[in-house]
């Protein structure tokens, strides 16, 4: 047996090693920030300001007169605030996960031998609208993980897009979430697989989330900017975060000013007064999730910002690599409303952003036993909404 003092010294040495390792682990770490500059700061000056403060420019964000930057440590980044004449705001370039608005249904489903109308599409009464409205001519951006561009149920409706992460036009979906969302909105009415709410809407894949379903606010801001530049009519945002972002709020405000309709997922925490951002932004339509048996899903977040609900439980739709899958979440509820909005714009192109929201709210189906904070105006009713617009024309 070793003498007690030797055991003590060995233990002490081990403790010192752990403390040194902890010090290394908790030392300065690189941080990624979004820096917003004063209106009179020329974009050509941005890189110089960032580098003078010890940072590295990752991408410029002209829509908010800002930039995404990496700094060696937090203190270096905060040094930007001393340049009050040029810098207006500094915030974390938050990482947002689509998992906050979606989760998988483990039960396997066989590939359909012929086209089916998923229960959610039927529940929002989309088939009743198709004799008069199909989404034709309406440009819908899916701000997500990309879209399977060769999916047989989608490819006829896809007009391109942009990868904000790598700044290319390669928008392949290496996750599946974006393809699933796209199918709910506009899977083709082609005797294959499934059909979407607005089966002739034009889809644009704006990729801001990676294969793990994670995306940074700066990529989302750039995605919104791309949507404005490419004159899309609707942006679907099936994601959310507890935190707010001034940069994203500014981008959303710019999009709203151009008339773009934005629809977002309320979130899946099942909490009251906890609608995620950007759904809680006043310029965005916040969507809760409902079930087959006309209830608000237990996981669906609630709050005064909820505008309406839509099917979000066990939703069968297109998936990556030409497949199909069932997913659950407010991520799936959100595109039902996006599709309904596309139907309205296809028969009334001049209908304003606020007008679309008003029609969808006024024609929604109220669920007994659930508060406005849980369901908003009720479950979206695409058939009734299209009828209302037709009769008022």
User: Is the confidence at residue 186, as pLDDT, over 70?
Assistant: yes
Between 21 and 302, where is the model more confident? 302
User: Is the confidence at residue 197, as pLDDT, over 80?
Assistant: yes
Predicted pLDDT at 83: 77
Note the pTM of the prediction, 2 decimals: 0.91
Strand order of the β-sheet with 158-163 is: 158-163, 202-207, 139-144, 234-237, 261-265, 285-290, 306-311
How much is the average pLDDT of 152-170?
A: 97
User: Is the confidence at residue 126, as pLDDT, over 50?
Assistant: yes
What pLDDT digit, counting tens, does each position of 100-117 carry?
666 666 656 667 778 999
Q: Which residue in this structure is represented by tokens 């509820």?
A: 333
User: CB neighbours of 131 closer than 8 A, spacing ≥ 6?
Assistant: none
Enzyme catalytic residues: 144, 177, 331
- What is the residue extent of each domain of the chain? 31-93, 97-392
Predicted pLDDT at 82: 77
Q: State how far the Cα of 370 lies from the Cα of 294, in Å rounded to an integer.
A: 10
Helix axis angle for 330-347 and 353-362, nearest 10°, is 110
User: Is the confidence at residue 203, as pLDDT, over 70?
Assistant: yes
How much is the average pLDDT of 193-202?
A: 98
Cβ count within 10 A of residue 29:
10
Q: State how far the Cα of 288 lies from the Cα of 373, in Å rounded to an integer.
A: 9
* 31-93 CATH, one of 1.10.940.10, 3.40.50.2300, 3.30.70.80, 3.40.449.10: 3.30.70.80
Predicted pLDDT at 89: 94
What is the percent of the chain where pLDDT is above 70?
90
Residue 172, SS3 per DSSP: coil
CATH architecture entry for 97-392: 3-Layer(aba) Sandwich (3.40)
């Amino acid at each position: 047996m070793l003498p007690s003092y030797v055991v003590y010294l060995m233990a002490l040495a081990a403790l010192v090693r752990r403390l040194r390792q902890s010090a290394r682990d908790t030392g300065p770490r690189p941080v990624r920030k979004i820096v917003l500059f004063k209106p009179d700061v020329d974009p050509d000056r941005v890189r110089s300001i960032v580098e003078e403060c010890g940072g590295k420019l990752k991408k410029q964000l002209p829509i908010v007169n800002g930039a995404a930057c990496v700094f060696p440590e937090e203190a270096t980044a905060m040094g930007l605030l001393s340049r009050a004449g040029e810098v207006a705001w500094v915030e974390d370039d938050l990482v947002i996960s689509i998992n906050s608005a979606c989760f998988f249904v483990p039960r396997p489903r066989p590939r359909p031998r012929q086209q089916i109308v998923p229960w959610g599409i039927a529940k929002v009464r989309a088939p009743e609208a198709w004799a008069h409205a199909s989404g034709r001519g309406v440009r819908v951006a899916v701000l997500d993980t990309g879209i399977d561009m060769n999916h047989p149920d989608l490819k006829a409706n896809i007009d391109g897009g942009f990868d904000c992460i790598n700044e290319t036009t390669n928008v392949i979906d290496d996750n599946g979430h974006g393809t699933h969302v796209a199918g709910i909105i506009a899977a083709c009415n082609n005797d294959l697989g499934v059909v979407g709410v607005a089966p002739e809407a034009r889809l644009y894949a704006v990729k801001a989330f990676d294969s793990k379903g994670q995306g940074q606010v700066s990529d989302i801001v750039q995605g919104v900017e791309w949507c404005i530049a490419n004159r899309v009519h609707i942006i679907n945002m099936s994601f959310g975060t507890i935190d707010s972002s001034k940069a994203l709020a500014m981008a959303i405000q710019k999009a709203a000013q151009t008339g773009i309709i934005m629809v977002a997922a309320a979130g899946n925490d099942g909490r009251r007064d906890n609608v995620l951002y950007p759904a809680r932004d006043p310029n965005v339509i916040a969507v809760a999730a409902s079930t087959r048996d006309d209830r608000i899903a237990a996981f669906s977040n609630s709050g005064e910002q909820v505008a309406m609900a839509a099917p979000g439980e066990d939703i069968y739709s297109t998936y990556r690599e030409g497949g199909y899958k069932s997913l659950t979440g407010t991520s799936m509820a959100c595109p039902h409303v996006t599709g309904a909005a596309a139907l309205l714009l296809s028969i009334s192109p001049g209908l304003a952003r606020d007008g679309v929201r008003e029609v969808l709210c006024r024609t929604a189906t109220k669920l007994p036993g659930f508060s406005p904070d849980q369901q908003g105006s009720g479950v979206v009713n695409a058939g009734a909404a299209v009828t209302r617009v037709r009769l008022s024309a």
